[in-house]
Chain A
Amino acid sequence: MALHDGHDVLGTLLMRESLDHCVKCTICETFCPVSNVTPLFPGPKYVGPQAERFRVPDEPSPDASLDYCSGCGICTQVCPQGVHIAEINSRARAHLKATHGVPLRDRLLGRPTLAGRLGTPAAPLANWTLRNRLLRLAAEKAIGLHHRAPMPRFAGRTFQRWARGHTPPQAARRVAFFHGCGTNYYEPRLGEMTVALLEHNGVAVDVPKQDCCGLPLQSNGLFDDARGYVHRLAQRLAPFARADVDIVGTSTSCTLMLKREALEILGMEDDADLRAVSARVFDICEYLVGMHERGELKTDFEPVPETVVYHAPCQQQGHGIGKPALDLFALVPELRVVESDATCCGVAGTYGLKREKYDIAMKVGAGLFAQIADAAPDRAVCDSETCRWQIEHATGVRTVHPVELLHRASGL
């Protein structure tokens, strides 16, 4: 089928043309976490391939209900016909925002590095502000950020700073580390653990200067701004790709952005740097499993006598690589892993932080939260930072990236 051959895969035009494959089977609707909990969202079939037939580029966007799509991407994953539903929705949403304007809140949420740069030097104050109920209520009134939306803690230092002070050892293999905003401003320890784990396995880690991947801007419909960020990030990472150095990332949603979404949704197939990067970018668990298949991974793990619940975030599923974290956990003695079959935790990046969507997000995640509560685990594990923060917020269970478990099991 021409749409899937070679270069035809790229191109937002042909992504839109995938709507022709839709046979209205309703399978996407049965999986959509949002339409199953709220009538405000008519469902992926309606909002995607169906409504797209009624949209004309020059006309103002006619359908506001589209805004309730969380962008989780599950619809695209389950569609038996290969319709790029979530991608069609994403582009339609950008047009919607262009028609009706983008609220200040979305502009702010779309720029995590801005918040990061402002909050890091004054971390204690920033953290206190974010947890002060009155200030949060005021923020909700002023800009529409829900007063209970799960906000991370500023670490008060950046991972980039740590990396600058760290000398990579000599090693046979090298990777470049695309750590993302979450690690840089909120979870630098995760970045350190990742570097340690890779070095332990004979891989030297370069940490290039880098900025946001633009995903939050894209999901809030600010495509031009997103393109700028993607382009600059790709420029930084492309030299590694061209030198045959793989690029790994711990934020599974950000790596997906570079692997596929920026090309498909933002229409950046002409960006040679991005194309080079896209071909060489890996989710960290994906990369570690690859090493394992090549016999390069140290598997002499120490026992971890814990029970954990693993939730594969929607964006991780969007990579289409299965659940490599589970393959890695299977190598750790005594670790008991409960695999959650819930589809989505609800936060979907910045979606669940918004006043009008917070309740929907909590309903969406209710199944997952109940499963975690039932399992009463020592901790929960999840590859995406925003999902971890949502899960902790909803269940109180400490939630970590898979790397943290592996780091511990490696005796580091």
Chain B
Amino acid sequence: MPQLQADVLVIGGGATGAGVAWDAALRGFDVILVERGDLAEGTSGRFHGLLHSGGRYVVKDPVAAEECVVENAILRRVVPDCIEDTGGLFVTTPDDDPAYGDRFMEGCRAAKLPAEEIGVAEALRREPRLNPAIRRAFSVPDASIDAWKTVWSLARGAAAHRARVLTYHRVIDLHRSDGAVTGARVRNELTGEELDVEAGFTLNASGAWAAQILHMAGIEDVGVVPGKGIMIAMNHRLVNTVINRCTMPADGDILVPIRTVSVIGTTDVRSADPDEIPVTQDEVDQMLDDGERLVPGFREARALRVWAGVRPLFQDARAGEVTDTRDVSRTHAVVDHRKRDGVDGLLTMSGGKLTTLRLMAQDLVDAMCAQLGTERPCRTAEERPPGNDDGEHYRLGSRLRKREERLQEEQLICECEMIGRGRLEEAIRTRGTTNLDDIRRVLRLGMGPCQGGFCIYRATGILHAVDRLDGAEAAESLRRFLEERWKGVWPILYGDQLRQARLDDWIFQGVLDVEHLPPGEEAAA
């Protein structure tokens, strides 16, 4: 049995895990991070895209609000390239109590959140598609953040400080010895090979899956409440500013412009299993109605994709049953298993939100240092991880501008998302795996309006041509893409998106007849 050794084993490759790995690596720890899938495939890859100003919490959860205010500023400093400074508005819709706006401003002042009431006319000038019937509007420093870019940036940073980041490595058991966790057995999901990781300390950053990991250490009823939420990406930016309803946190009260789309979300449904998070028609209907409240004509706009994410809400089950997950605090907590369960060498991070990922990592690594009896200061508030060299916030037009520079020199493979052949070939080269799914997720190939109608065949052809796939794998990959894409499309298949689906059906089935592609050897066997 092969064995790896490290000071710290981080379980989970989402924002939390990557942030922890970065923090610990910067502090000089030798880190191994294991993630059962690809980085940011879990909650982080499915979240709303919002870098909170904190305004959402100023009335209901002031502690969470203050955390957001501080962390928002820090993240803008250390991962500027991952953030688009869209700004945010809190608007009082006709369904909201205008008096809440005063409590809102009060809360902002208390949390030192720089909010300002602007006139409705000004709000409508900035955002012409906003509901003209809004009665109040407040401007806040919300932003949109590319979680995937952020997670990758942190992981690369950790790797640059000796950390080993092992994706597609699933934890199948935790090792215990004398009442302490000493590491884990993991399985390489791509090869089937198993190996042991021995670590002085194990940090459980698996978010909504925390309970599953702790179960392997014999620790039960930890109180992670997976909170499912669905989000719908609309085909283009209906707004260029984050729009929030100025009211107590509710479903579907945020519309976030992120990259080329605007995302409406979200719902809040307690879920038993973080891997079983179906999108229901009722939720879709609800989100469309909520969108209509913020932007009239929302239902006529084109819905691009729908997905569900699951929040790792934490409430210690010993403190009582949870019914409405929105009442669970959004702040995070370090679960001290030494105190709680008598288990050494293990800490769990639970709860939290992406906006506070850096603070969560800091708290977790601080707690570990305290238990280890060592003092190593946290540097993540100052250091920039790789990929943020521009030092400037992301601008949506940059993708188009970059494309313009290479207009005559390079083929455009995914036209919707402006991905040139050079980028595709580079991704193929730098990624270790030949997994077309990964490359698609990395580049967001086929995530634009045409839903891969044109680019997926092209990308498959290019991958095949550079010997990365044979015919059987290409066929499998094509079919898998179609199935994956369909999952996010069929619950919102109406209007313009249905037109697109019909064209795509025509191309894939009518012209290319992909359903009759000969199966690969595995499938045939």
Contact = CB atoms under 8 A, between A and B. Distances in A.
B499 A21 contact: yes
Contacts of A114: none
Interface residues of B, number: 35
Nearest to B403: A63
19 contacts: A17-B297, A20-B235, A21-B302, A23-B453, A25-B503, A46-B412, A50-B415, A51-B400, A53-B260, A54-B260, A54-B400, A56-B395, A56-B396, A56-B397, A57-B240, A61-B397, A63-B397, A65-B404, A65-B407
B401 A62 contact: yes
B129 A39 contact: no
A81 interface: yes
A1 interface: yes
Interface in B398-443: 398-401, 403-404, 407-408, 412, 415-416, 418
A81 B449 contact: no
Given A2-B297, A17-B301, A19-B236, A54 B399 contact: yes
Interface string B104-144: 00000000000000000000000011000000000000000
Given A19-B236, A50-B415, A53-B260, A24 B449 contact: yes
A55 B297 contact: no
Contacts of B404: 62-65
B396 A59 contact: yes
Contacts of B235: 20, 53
Main secondary structure of the interface of A (DSSP, over half): loop
Nearest to B87: A58
Interface string B494-516: 00100110010000000000000
Nearest to A57: B240
B450 interface: yes
Contact of A53 (B129, B236, B496): B236
A50 B416 contact: yes
Contacts of A359: none
B236 A24 contact: no
B400 A20 contact: no
Interface in B471-507: 496, 499-500, 503
Contacts of A55: 396-397, 400
Interface string B233-245: 0011100100000
Nearest to A16: B236
A46 B415 contact: yes
Interface string A39-75: 1101001100011111111111111110000000000
B235, B236, B396, B499 pick with most chain A CB within 10 angstroms: B236
Contacts of B499: 21, 23, 81
A411 B252 CA distance: 72
A81 B502 CA distance: 13
Nearest to B128: A13
B450 A24 contact: yes
A153 to B, nearest CB: 39
B416 A39 contact: no
A335 interface: no
A19, A50, A55 pick with most chain B CB within 10 angstroms: A50
Given A23-B450, A50-B415, A58 B400 contact: no
A52 B415 CA distance: 12
B168 interface: no
A389 B163 CA distance: 71
A20 B237 CA distance: 11
Contacts of A272: none
B454 interface: yes
B97 interface: no
Nearest to B450: A24
Given A24-B450, A24-B453, A42-B407, A54 B300 contact: no
A342 interface: no
A125 interface: no
A317 B302 CA distance: 29
A53 B262 CA distance: 11
B397 A60 contact: yes
A58 B240 contact: yes
A3 interface: yes
A215 to B, nearest CB: 25
